[in-house]
Structure 1
Amino acid sequence: MSHVKSHSREPLLRIAKREGISRPKAYGVRAAAVLLSLVVSGIFIFTVTKLNPIAVYEGIYDGAFGTPRRFWATIRDTMMLLCIGVGLAPAFKMRFWNIGAEGQILIGGVITAGFMRFYGGTIPTPVLLVLMAAVSLTAGGVWGVIPATFKARWNTNETLFTLMMNYVAIQITSYCVALWEFPVGSNTVGVIHQQTKYGWFPEIFGQEYGLNVILVMTLTVGMYIYLKYSKHGYEITVVGDSENTARYAGISVKKVTVRTMAISGAICGLAGFIAVAGVGHTISTSTAGGRGFTAIIVAWLAQFNTFVMILISLLLVFLQKGAIQIATQFGLNDYASNIITGIILFFILGSEFFINYRVIIRSRKEGAK
């Protein structure tokens, strides 16, 4: 009898899904997680390096915003990451796991580099920029439609499909780089039109990356409106919640899947255009730089709210720049600086658990029964 009673008692801890949490309370949990991560990081810094944690945090800030050049480099990288996150948002909201942003960026970038290399100087730069934007959108969209079509028709696994297409894009990029590496009179593809700057983004208000900001912020606002207020955005939400409900409501799941991935891939392809024409002015297999995977964190943490993505993208780039700075300034190896970044990200990601779930501790009264 006592054996049965012991099994029927409530566990010490139970986890239950929250029915709902107010937005201020959710942001309060995230703010507490950030503060706690700084405390834990400070303990780690002092224990391992004997450095003053405040000085290290000042070094992190200095690495991201210490000079005008660093400030604009941080903004530049934030815009790149944000653009990709915005591209992933509709696919992820539809519960289509697009892990192929890296490939979509490369495809958009390589076709941009081709147009810049072959048509720079023969077409006026403003017209060339419009053409490069159009072809990068098209290329990225096609790269997104391929796995979406297979998913819609034959229910293939989109995670593996989009992931494998990254490697195809890498090989296409490698082939093009090798093809362009030895043009007549040169031995490297290098920076395209470095002297003439054909096909480069123009300076806006005296800032090299001003056009990057305008393009990406326009996309951010546009995607927010598209997902929240348009009919297509409503269909994406319904399909993401339940495909059966969508079919019952007369929504074509196949059509929504293909259309949404075309948009997702196109925006990631446009990120390739920005990376080539607005940032690096060259193409290589490292043009995406892993941002396609980092942007998954951005989209997921923001719960597909593109305005929240601005803050998360800025935070991730801020931590990355800061880690590089403190590694140099304080003579820390990459492992130590990355551990600090990892601790902060761990707490921020962990806060999402407490926003979505609550931990119930067994009361003494329950335990005594």
Structure 2
Amino acid sequence: MWEEAVQMNKQKRFYISKRTDIPRYQAWAIRGAAILLALVVCAIVTMLMTGENPISIYTTIFYGAFGTARRTWVTAQDLAILLGIALAVTPAFKMHFWNIGAEGQVLIGGLATTACMICLSDKLPNALVILCMVIASIAAGALWGFLPAFFKAKWNTNETLFTLMMNYIATQLAAYYIIVWEVPKGAGKIGIINQGTEVGWLPEIGNQYLLSIVLVAILTGVIYIYLNYSKHGYEIAVVGESQRTASYAGIKVDRVIIRTMVLSGAICGLIGLLLVGGINHTLTTTIVGGQGFTAVMVSWMAKFNPIIMVFTSLLLVFLSRGASEISSTFSLNHSFADILTGIILFFIIGSEFFITYKINLRKSAEKEA
């Protein structure tokens, strides 16, 4: 059996081996080549499926994201929200705790924010209402992160399924209270909340978009320092490498798991506050818009590096905004824009294979031997 396996291996024209190290410039060159190749493939697909000029499509994508000052601000705001959620899930992912519940954690934070805006608007001054919103949203998100972490730490439950199911609970809670606040006694309270008084609306900094951008920019720096230069960040990295090694080193793994997930949930709750209190001023079950799942891709593509996440978030938001513009400008089905987005992401994600591994031709290997 062994001799047959060796003989089959010799007959292969090439083989794959893991790279021991690769210069940073070379890794980025591979990623850049993947993006260029993706654009070429998208151009071919565009001509075959629609007959449109690919250059016009790409110009429209750029215009959709940055064509006017307002579009640029909206793109930056969308970038901030997606980046904020990605920052929330990253500590857990680096610990190898697969938190797929960011969607629900953000939504439950938005629900807590909404509750404060509706129930306290005529009972407390605006400043105190906003303070209660901040505390309630962070606490709600932290609770939604604590529950799966506690069960994982105590009974080793499957965190992927647990956090995923928590999304549905949060969605149904939001749906229930939306109806409660709408009919019969609520009678429209869940539209634009406190539209006449603007109680609970987060203050604007410069303009309506800047607050979320500034807060997430600060959060990016804080999370980067936390993960790379703090004791907690070191413990997260060790637990992610091996829980057994962490235990031998005297790290209390259960405590790290719970603490990290509480942090992740709290940040998600804060993003829920921004969505409801600062951007939309209303609550819907779709207010997060799937960004809790998109953030998983953002974090993974950036290798859990908060600084690189800025660029991966920008790429996905840019493609999303451009896709919507394509649909409206060329009267194309939105699915076509999703096809282009999928092709580009496929090449970008696939490039990571060539960064981690290399393909060796058998002839060249025999010459070296």
Q: Confirm or deny a common fold (TM above 0.5).
A: yes
Displacement after TM superposition at 1:130 (Å): 2.8
The separation in 1 between residues aligned to 2:365 and 2:214, in whole angstroms, is 60
The separation in 2 between residues aligned to 1:5 and 1:114, in whole angstroms, is 67
The separation in 1 between residues aligned to 2:9 and 2:22, in whole angstroms, is 31
Paired residue for 2:26? 25
Displacement after TM superposition at 1:77 (Å): 1.0
> What residue identity is the alignment partner of 1:334?
H
> What residue identity is the alignment partner of 2:292?
G
Paired residue for 1:352? 352
Paired residue for 1:90? 91
Paired residue for 2:56? 55
Structure 1 residues 12, 101: CA separation in 2 closer, same or farther (over 3 Å shift)? same
Paired residue for 1:44? 45
Displacement after TM superposition at 1:96 (Å): 0.1
- Indicate the SS of the match to 1:21: coil
> What residue identity is the alignment partner of 2:218?
T
TM-score between both structures, scaled by the size of structure 2:
0.95
The separation in 1 between residues aligned to 2:40 and 2:91, in whole angstroms, is 36
Q: Deviations over 1:110-130 (max 9, x none)?
A: 000010112225433333323
> What residue identity is the alignment partner of 1:191?
I
CA RMSD of superposed structures (Å): 1.9
Structure 1 residues 277, 348: CA separation in 2 closer, same or farther (over 3 Å shift)? same
For the Cα contact (< 8 Å) 1:10–1:366, is it kept in 2?
A: no
Paired residue for 2:211? 211
Displacement after TM superposition at 1:41 (Å): 0.7
Which structure 2 residues correspond to residues 91-240 of structure 1 after superposition, within 5 A?
91-182=92-183, 184=185, 186-187=187-188, 189-205=190-206, 207-240=207-240
> What residue identity is the alignment partner of 1:362?
R
Displacement after TM superposition at 1:17 (Å): 1.8
Which structure 2 residues correspond to residues 247-326 of structure 1 after superposition, within 5 A?
247-326=247-326
Q: Which runs of 5+ in 2 are unaligned?
A: none
> What residue identity is the alignment partner of 1:221?
G
The separation in 2 between residues aligned to 1:63 and 1:126, in whole angstroms, is 37
The separation in 2 between residues aligned to 1:271 and 1:9, in whole angstroms, is 55
For the Cα contact (< 8 Å) 1:37–1:347, is it kept in 2?
A: yes
The separation in 1 between residues aligned to 2:312 and 2:120, in whole angstroms, is 37
Displacement after TM superposition at 1:73 (Å): 1.4
The separation in 2 between residues aligned to 1:46 and 1:60, in whole angstroms, is 16
Give aligned-pair identity as a percent. 51
Per mean C-alpha deviation after superposition, the further-off stretch among 123-132 and 54-63 is: 123-132
Q: Deviations over 1:301-344 (max 9, x none)?
A: 11111111111111101101101101111121122111111111
The separation in 1 between residues aligned to 2:301 and 2:165, in whole angstroms, is 25
For the Cα contact (< 8 Å) 2:181–2:187, is it kept in 1?
A: no
Paired residue for 2:362? 362
- Indicate the SS of the match to 1:360: strand
Per mean C-alpha deviation after superposition, the further-off stretch among 101-110 and 10-19 is: 10-19
The separation in 2 between residues aligned to 1:303 and 1:189, in whole angstroms, is 39
> What residue identity is the alignment partner of 2:266?
A
Paired residue for 1:327? 327
The separation in 2 between residues aligned to 1:3 and 1:304, in whole angstroms, is 42
- Indicate the SS of the match to 1:9: helix
TM-score between both structures, scaled by the size of structure 1:
0.95
Displacement after TM superposition at 1:7 (Å): 2.8
Displacement after TM superposition at 1:259 (Å): 0.3
